[in-house]
Structures are given as C-alpha cells and as structure tokens.
Structure 1
Amino acid sequence: MLFLALPVSALLSALLIVTLRPLLVRYALARPNARSSHRTPTPQGGGIAVVGASLLVAGTILLAAGMPGGALPLVAVAALALAAVGAVDDIRPLPAGPRLLLQAAAVAAVVWASDGRVLPEAVPLGLERALLVLGGVWFVNLVNFMDGLDWITVAEMVPVTAAITVLGAMAGAPMAVVCLALALCGACLGFAPFNKPVARLFLGDVGSLPIGLLVGWMLLELATTGAIAAALLLPLYYLMDATITLLRRLARAEKVWEAHRSHFYQKATDNGFSALSVSAHVLGLNIALAGLAAVTLFWPSGVVQIAALALGLVLVGLVLRRFSRSRSTLSLEVSR
C-alpha cells in the first residue's frame, strides 16, 4: 500500500493544479523582477497542490495501513502554517522580520517534535536544538531562494525525496518519513509538466517554504538514525549554491534580504545555459550525490563517510564552477 503514495500523489497534484490554475492566473501572477528568470507574467501557487497532495496522501495511507504517524501531524501543521505565510507573501510581500519569526516558530516546532540526537551526547541538548533551529530556518529559506528557475526544484526534490524513501527505509527511519518522502516525490512529478521550460506555473512561496520544512524534517529524521553523512550529501548542491552566494553577498555588504541574481544557477543562464540544461546538470548531480549517500549506508566506516563527503563537495564544486563560466569559454577550451 505504501508504494501507492507516488502515483496517487502525482495524479492528485496534477488534478489540483488543473482545478486551481484559473484562480491562480487571476489572483497570483508573478511579474518579472530583479530576481526573475522569466520574462512574462506567470501564475504562481502550484505549491498548494504539491504540498496539499503530499500531506493528504501520506496521512491517508498511514491511517489506512494502521502505521504510526509519529511527528507527522505536528510537522503537517507547521508546514501548512508556512504555506499560509508563503501564500500571503506571494500576493503581498511581507516584511523580512515577521516572516523570519514565523519561519523560526515553525522550524522550532518541528525540531521539538524530533526525539533523536544528531550531535554527540557531550553537546548539551539545548545547544543542539538551537543549532538545528538555526540550520532549519536557513534550509527553509535556501529552498525558497533556489526555486528561481523552471524545473530546478523538480530536478532537486525528485531525486532527494526518492533517495530519502530508499535510504530512510534502509536506515530505520520512521515509516511516516518514508511515506511522506514518496508522496512528495510523486507530487513533484505531478507538478513537473506544468513547470517544464517555458513554465506555465510556478510553485510560489506557498510551495517552496513548506517543501523546505518537510524535506528538512525528513533529512533530520534520517540524520538521527546515524546516517548524518547521507543527510548532508542529499541536499549538498542547494546547500553549497545558496550558502556560498550568501557569504559572497555579505562580503560585498549587500542587503541579503533583497532580490538578486547572484546564485550560481542564475549565473549559468546569464552565461548561456538554458533552463533545461541547468536543471539537467542539477538532476545528474543529485543522482550522483544520492549514490554517494547510499555508499555511506552500505559502508558506514568513518573513512568511507569522509571520502564520500569529500567527493560530494568536489562534484558540486565542479558544477558550480561550470555554471560560473560562459558556454562560449567552455566550448573554446574543449576545442583546444
């Protein structure tokens, strides 16, 4: 019954999009701005379907199968709260301060619901949870920041959630995590045809913020099983692109809360890469990272963990370097 989560969630997500799209066209148009990669007004809000289908299908299957939901009800409430914040922000942008406080409250609720430990016992529990809240808020925001190109979120989240499904089951993660990962994977696939370049629909903050929270919770639960290296490897591209970009902007004394086009994937389109090419790079990279994450579970020695993380950093670094250089320069170097 668990494997029904993917096809049912994909179908429900697509049906909800078809149903909601006329309303989104009328009330939720995203107009091009300094951060945009699109040139014409495009409806946003597809995240309503993706998040709604994921939570509904996962919850229904767990209930019907008599499997424990664990922390999922609380996580679902926190995700829906973030979706509401994102929906308001999509229509009328909220000030950065209140938005950040609401995100912190949602992340804190999710961290509080997690029973396991990630850091060694020598680290005080209060300090660990404070660090997890800080990291969770950053993860929620970076997923939002990275959702700025057609198909890039699909190219990121489909392999990540598919890997969480398999690796979570292998590592002994709660069934609620495995089921939700499979449902979210399906919902993203249902969204994919509407977001393919040139996109007819965007996720919007109503989708990217709660997706960041849900995936962050699933990665946290994976990490508490001892699979910390796998939990770091799976989102490594998003982590590196967004974090390096943030640090560079801070070094330039820029207002980091304002719209920009400084991410590596945005530079790639400025350098001649098509949206489809960028997403293909991200998809291929994430499949490789998922493979490395699997290696850390099959061979859990410290040496293998460190080697896999190092190789993952190298692979992501190579893709970021490629995105930073123009296609004409790369073609010239290849021809030499």
Structure 2
Amino acid sequence: MVYITNLVATIFGPLERVQLLVVLLVLSGLLSSASIILLMPLLKRYALARPNARSSHRVPTPQGGGIAVIIAACLPLMLILLFSGSDFKFAWGSGIGLRFLWLTFAAAIGLAIVGAIDDLRPLPVLPRLLFQLLAVVAVAASGSGGNFLPVPEWITLIIVYLAGLWFVNLVNFMDGLDWITVAEMVPITAFITILGWFGFVPLSSALIAASLCGALLGFAPLNRPVARLFLGDVGSLPIGLLVGWMLLELAGTHALAAAILLPLYYLMDATITLFRRLAKRERVWEAHRSHFYQRATDNGFPVMAVVTHVFVLNLALAALAAVTLLWPTGVVQVVALAAGAVLVCLVLRRFSQSRTTAPVEVSR
C-alpha cells in the first residue's frame, strides 16, 4: 500500500493543471471503452431495450452503457484520492474541497444503482423521485458556491434542490436518441475542464468534468448512430447529477449566466415540452415522443442531422458562456443569455418543421 501511495504521489504530484486533466480524460476514456467490452455480453443477455411506439430504435438494443461511463468517470479519480492521501498536491492549490468529492461520488453511484434497477424493473414514480432528491441534497451539501442568488439562503437551497431534481430528470428525458447525450454533455464537460485549466472553477469540478468527458468519449463509438448500446437510466441519471453539480459550482463563482447558458438547449427543450404536456393534461412521468429532437426525426431529420445541430448549438452556447466570463458586466450577461435563448429557439423551430425530403428511419 505504501508503495502504491508513493508511486501515485510521484506520478501525479508534480503534474501541472493541463497535464493532470489530460491524463484523467485519457484514462477515463480508455477505462470506459474497456469496461464496455467486458460488459457487452452481459448487457446483450440481460439488459435489452425493446422498441415500442415511443422508441427511436427499431430492434432490441442493449442498454446499461452508463455503468461503464460512471465507473470510468469516478474510479480513476477515486483511486488517486485514495492512494495519494495528503501528498496529493497540485500546482494550483492545496486541493481544498476535494474531500467533498467522496460525497459526490457516493451520491452518483447510489443514483446509478437506482437507475440500474429502474432499467431492469421500472420503479414507481414517488420512490424514484425520493431517491433522486436525496442524491441532489447530498451533492448540493458538498458544494462550495454559497448563496449566489439575491434571496435568503434558505430560498436559494430550495431552488437548488428543485432545479437539481429537474436537471437529473431532464437529462434522463432527453437521452432518447443516439449520440444526443454525447453531443450535449461532451461540450459542457470539455468547457468546464478548460475553465479548470485557467482556474475559473474549483479544482474538484474540473477533475470530474475531465473524467466524465473522457468516459463519454469512450462510450461514444458504440452509441454512434445507428447505436449498438444505450446509456440507460443507470447512466443518464448520475450524469445529470454530476453535470448539475458542476454547473452549481460554476454558478457559485459568480458565473450564473454561464451556468445557465451551457445546458440551455436541454433546459429549453425539456421544460417547454413539460409545460406543453401539462397544458394537455398528459401524464408527464410516462414515456412519450413530444420532445423537439423526437419531433425532428418524425419530421424527416436524420439522426446525425439532429445531433449535429445540438453539438454545434452547444459550441455556440459555450462561446457565449466564455464571453460572460471574460466580460462579467450586467449588460453582457443579459445580452449573452438573450442571444443563447434566440439560438436555441431557432433550433427548436427548425426541429418542428417538416423537411421536404422523405422521412428517414431513425435507428435500427
């Protein structure tokens, strides 16, 4: 044990920020790919997602790729923290706040277990929401952002809990098309990793962002249209939790506008769809094909066209978020948020329009 501790400290101790983040990204990517190869026979046997009227796929496809993603996102950093101990020092500070990562890891893994159970045997709505809320409360308690809203702290906490619960679920709702979660979350996690490189976000956020980005890249080849593997709730729920926590940490650095801009497409698509379904008195907890990205495929958009729109849109939103960080004035924040909302609305409007070409099959 002492040898392993000294080895890890020797390897990772002197690394500069960019080196450490790149190492974590690459390690997580390799571990994700290797885990998928090992898990695939079991997933094909026990975790097939069979198509139904609301599905975007045509043949039974294994789900549960999120197991590999969460393992790859958490395990490398957990091992570094476990074996390096007090010797885990970086060029950019003492690592204050890293101890809270254990609570974040525990919440994410717990939510992944709930998601895995739900994948195999759907849970009732209320117990599922309760488990999700417990995970959100645990992760919010580990945050270091403080009160970033101009309201009493207890009101901020309620808003954070409700927003976190919604974000976990909307990521799950939006994970209904090949590569869409990759197109959404890779730009967000990559951007937060870059912010960590320059010291704009806490060290803990940057480390998890790099690990999760690498894990998603390792998963991406098998989820590429036409997908041979899906994330499943075991992946989408903890990914929503981890990314929501990163955005909370970002908001706590007086960068609320950037924290809103980065996931703005998912936020607007899911939230508008929710209110439209509520207005129609539909059961919003049931599966459906009302999201804008789903309507796009129904309107004749190829899957690659949809995810390309989402990916390019997220690059534009990340650029606007960068502007709000470089010029943190009130006017710039408002203009950037308005510009981001306009861009998302344009994409949603485009998804809502039928193409003149014949509809294409969205998956196998």
Structure 1 and Structure 2 fold alike (TM over 0.5)? yes
Contact 1:285 1:315 survives alignment (8 Å): yes
Aligned to 1:22: 41
Instruction: Report the equivalent of 2:71.
Output: 52
Letter in 2 for 1:103: Q
Q: Residues 133-282 of structure 1: matches in 2 within 5 Å?
A: 133-170=161-198, 172-282=200-310
Question: Which secondary structure state, in structure 1, belongs to the residue aligned with residue 356 of structure 2?
Answer: helix
The Cα offsets for residues 141-188 of structure 1, whole Å up to 9 and x where unpaired, read as 000000000000000111010011112444532211101101111110
> How far, CA to CA, are the matches of 1:172 and 1:123 in structure 2?
24
C-alpha contact 1:118 1:228 (8 A) present in aligned 2:
no
Flag structure 1 segments of 5+ consecutive residues without an equivalent. Answer: 330-336
Give the match's secondary structure for 1:328: coil
Of stretches 61-70 and 155-164 in structure 1, the one that deviates more from structure 2 is 61-70
Equivalent residue, structure 2, for 1:66? 88
Per the alignment, residue 102 of structure 1 pairs with 131
Q: Does 1:303 align with 2:331?
A: yes
How far, CA to CA, are the matches of 2:178 and 2:244 in structure 1?
Answer: 22
Report the AA paired with residue 58 of structure 2. Answer: R
Inter-partner Cα distance in structure 1 for 2:203 and 2:347: 34
Q: TM-score, normalised by structure 1?
A: 0.95
Which residue of 2 is the match for residue 334 of structure 1?
A: none
For residues 129 and 254 of structure 1, the distance between their equivalents in structure 2, rounded to whole angstroms, comes to 30
Larger Rg: 2
Whole-angstrom distance in 1 between the partners of 2:163 and 2:225: 31
Correspondent of 1:115 among 127, 141, 144: 144
Local SS of the residue matching 2:343 = helix
Q: Percent identity, please.
A: 65
TM-fit CA distance, 1:225 = 0.6
8 Å CA contact 1:62–1:176 kept in 2: the answer is no
8 Å contact from structure 2 (residues 147, 153) kept in 1: no
RMSD: 1.5
Q: Which one of the candidate residues 92, 97, 100 is aligned to 2:121?
A: 92
CA distance in 2, matches of 1:245, 1:2: 36
If the length of structure 2 is used for normalisation, what is the TM-score? 0.88
Find out whether 1:314 has 2:315 as its counterpart.
Answer: no
Aligned length: 329
Unmatched 5+ stretches in structure 2: 1-19, 90-94, 358-364
Shift of 1:8: 1.0
Conserved? CA contact 1:25–1:42, under 8 Å: yes
1:41 matches 2:53:
no
Question: How many Å apart are 1:207 and its aligned residue?
Answer: 0.2
Query: How far apart are residue 70 of structure 1 and its match?
Result: 3.5
